[in-house]
Structure 1
Amino acid sequence: MANAEPLELIHEAPRRARDVLARRLADIVGLPSSRLTPRERWIVADLLFDILKASDVTVRQRCARRLAGLVEAPGRLLRVLACDEYEVAEPILEESRALTDFDLLEIVQAGTLQHRMAIARRENISEIISAALVSAGEPPVVECVLKNKTTALAAPTVDRLVGAAQDEVRYAALLIRREELRPAQAFRLFWDCEHAERFQILERFAVDRTILIDSTEDIFPMVSKEGWDDPLVTRVLRYIDRRQRNREAAGLSPYGSLEGAIDAFCVEGAQQELVSEIATLAAIHKRLLLRMIDDMAGEPLAILCKATGLKWTSFQGLWTGLGRPAQDDSVEPARKVYDSLSVEKAQTVLRYWNLTFEDAERR
């Protein structure tokens, strides 16, 4: 990447003629193609490059400002100025439309934090460049990328950021506003969010399944006749099904129902047997229920209660069974979630989570 190295100033006293010549050469380089052939432009750019090597920062700054707005500026000259000291590079990094993705990738790798911040502020950053900026792992740059509404984010980049939000909590609020965020990513992000962000995720992504349910209603009897022996169909229909609870398990349970198991939980606490029983009766993975129990906020348990048709008193039973005070600050946000979600929407969230845990177990 020799062509993108910062210009090294040759030790020489500044001269007025050199400054004027640099300006003239920059003006010539910027002439439209109707007045200057490509070969002539390359020659002039080479001469200007030599002059800039022997010029001070002020001259290089002036040249960079002149070239920043030119669509036909020579790539080599742009790259070396864009990798120069930030005060020289800034106008080219933020304004030049002549920089290609290849150029920007070089600058992302060779530049400083300030260079990457300037690139992150550019309009219409491609998925390739945003991925390179995010991979550097610098929170100020990542936040700038996420705030830039004209930036394109590829799905793998969003996945990476959702994972990074576990350590950088500020990412969550910015990711929620991105159009690229998909339901599976949002519900994974949910666990690392504060109350306000969690509610935003539910408002945006907790949808009902009316069309799915109506369109597949006749398939359930077909699959039942086949003995539910197609694992893939069974998996999809479990997401669509109106029912959440495991009715067969309720008939065999010593507690008689999900409500009965929760009543026992309220008295006995989070005993392993009770946790397993509640997970079975609610038709969810035990590890998912443990994740809900470990979550110190109340929204996940509120979603479980709403999705399974439980009354609010069952949430209170789970909450106090965990040894948490009834007047805890997390109860009010949980009640807000419980009251705002329909059963179908709560089931959508719960089933996305459950599929995630089942997929993780299979891997």
Structure 2
Amino acid sequence: MTLARSRDPGDRERLLTGIIELCEAGQSAGAPTDPDIQRLLDSIFMTLVVEAERDIRQRLSERLADAPWAPSALINILALDEIEIARPIIARSQVLQDHDLIRLMVQATLEHQIEVARRPRLSASVVEAILARDEHAVLTALASNDTAELSPDSLRRLVGRAKDIVALRSPLARHPLLSSELAEQLYLWVGSALRDALTSRFHLDPETIALALDQTLRAAHRGDGPAQDGGIESDEDRAEMERSLVEKLDAAGQLRPGYLLRVLREGRLTLFVTALARLGRFESPQIRRAIDSNRPELLALACSAVGIDRSVFPTILEHVRQLNGGRPGGGDEGARRAGSAFGPFTPDIAGMAFRQAVGAV
């Protein structure tokens, strides 16, 4: 009671330490915690910690990081504290649940998010939240976390981002879950040292990879492809082959805005959708919603985001309407509105505007 009445920081810390030791002793003895006692402990800890100085909170964080009995509310508060205080809690506390970690991804700083991505044995749901945020440093931390629950699709998405995020390449090249198929894709983007490592690990043949890429590029430039291949059994097969073609063109640096007009002239609307989505880092369903709408300005924003010139867009719109049953609608008035998408702003701004606008369609 004397310690509780004192305002001295040292007395407050001694009181906290004494309560922790009592809880640890009860945990070691296997005594069940009465709900009323647990609520009382929660209240005591919260009151003391809110008023505690930084050094006390940091020592408390280290002490409680491995305590399974620690109050959930207190652990979540410490996890949102300064990063030096939050780090042991985020890294080790069993009290933090998946929904707590996902909330940190939304509410906390970039440093906190990186610590979440480094946490051992991350679940698939937290991995998905990290991928959705698409922060370069956080993705790199995730790629370096060999214990995270990465599905084949999650790993594929990380490898796909490695084209633009150099820091991802090294940890992915060494990741134990990397498949030979993804290794071939990653091979195109890494330097000589990592290429040697991938070749040795997966027994890759650089000449075979180069030959396959060269054949794909030649076929793309000739206009050959899935739409003309009689051996394709279904629309799903065709879509998969088109995705593969676009990925290889992109990996080789051959996927450019001019390619979009070429495939439209060849009557290959689905390939146009796939290529535009890849160029703008959009989702194909977003592009499909835009061209099926009555708002051609949505398609214009997507084209502006990938560097299509204002003067070229009317030709693209005409081809898309011819191949898509007159959609996107809006007539001449819609085409006029679409011109505003090529305003005095950067492609990044156009891309952000497209994602926001198409989400409401």
Per the normalisation by structure 2, the TM-score is 0.51
Compute the displacement of 1:80 (Å). 0.8
Alignment match, 2:103: 106
Q: Secondary structure at the match of 1:192?
A: coil
2:175 to 164, 174, 178: 178
Tell me if structure 2 keeps the 8 A contact 1:131–1:154: no
From the superposition, tell whether residues 232 and 101 of structure 1 become closer, same or farther in structure 2 (CA, over 3 Å): same
Report the counterpart of residue 139 of structure 2 in structure 1.
Answer: 142
**Is 1:96 equivalent to 2:93 in the alignment?**
yes
- Deviation, 1:100, is 1.3
Q: Which has the larger radius of gyration?
A: 1
State percent identity of aligned pairs: 24
3-state SS of the aligned residue for 2:154? helix
Cα contact 1:61–1:88 (8 A) shared by 2: yes
Which of 1 and 2 has higher RCO (CA within 8 Å, sep 6+)? 1
In 2: Cα distance, 1:96 partner to 1:58 partner: 19
| Aligned equivalent of 1:22 | 16
Instruction: Please tell me whether the aligned partners of residues 14 and 56 of structure 1 are also in contact (alpha carbons under 8 angstroms).
Output: no
Shift in alpha-carbon separation, 1:65–1:160, aligned structure 2, 3 A: same
- CA offset digits 1:179-211 (Å, max 9, x no partner): 333444333333322234345445517599xxx
Q: Partners in 2 of 1:34 and 1:293 — Cα distance?
A: 64
User: Aligned equivalents of 1:161 and 1:55: distance in 2?
Assistant: 41
- Is this contact kept in 2: 1:101–1:129, CA < 8 A? yes
In the alignment, does 2:173 pair up with 1:169? Answer: no
State the AA in 1 paired with 2:105.
V
1:86–1:146 distance in 2 versus 1, CA, 3 Å: same
Structure 1 residue runs without a partner (length 5+) = 1-11, 209-227, 237-284, 296-356
What is the rounded CA distance, in whole Å, between the counterparts of 2:135 and 2:184 in structure 1?
A: 24
- CA drift at 1:44: 0.8
3-state SS, counterpart of residue 79 of structure 1: helix
Residue 79 (structure 1) shift: 0.6
Indicate whether 1:84 and 2:85 are aligned: no
SS in 1 for 2:170: helix
2:132 aligned with 1:120: no
The answer to whether residue 43 in structure 2 is matched with residue 43 in structure 1 is no
2:232 — aligned with what? 231
Distance 2:111 2:131 in 1: 14
2:57 paired with 1:66: no
| 1:83 CA displacement | 0.9
How far 1:133 sits from its partner (Å)? Answer: 3.1
AA paired with 1:125?
Answer: L
2:157 corresponds to which residue? 160
* In 2, Cα distance between equivalents of 1:76 and 1:288: 49
Runs (5+) with no aligned partner, structure 2: 1-5, 209-228, 238-244, 256-270, 276-283, 285-361
Whether 1:189 and 2:183 are equivalent positions in the alignment is no
The aligned amino acid for 1:166 is K
- The 1:61–1:136 alpha-carbon spacing in structure 2 relative to 1, beyond 3 Å, is same
What root-mean-square deviation, in Å, do the aligned CA atoms of Structure 1 and Structure 2 show?
A: 4.0
Between the aligned partners of 2:161 and 2:11, the Cα distance in structure 1 is 53
1:59 and 1:100 map into 2 onto residues whose CA distance is: 25
Task: Name the CA distance, whole Å, in 2 between partners of 1:51 and 1:196.
Answer: 54
Judge which range, 152-161 or 90-99, deviates more.
152-161
- The residue type equivalent to 1:127 in the other structure is A
Q: Could you say if the C-alpha distance between residues 52 and 205 of structure 1 is closer, same or farther in structure 2, counting changes exceeding 3 Å? A: same
TM-score by length of 1: 0.51
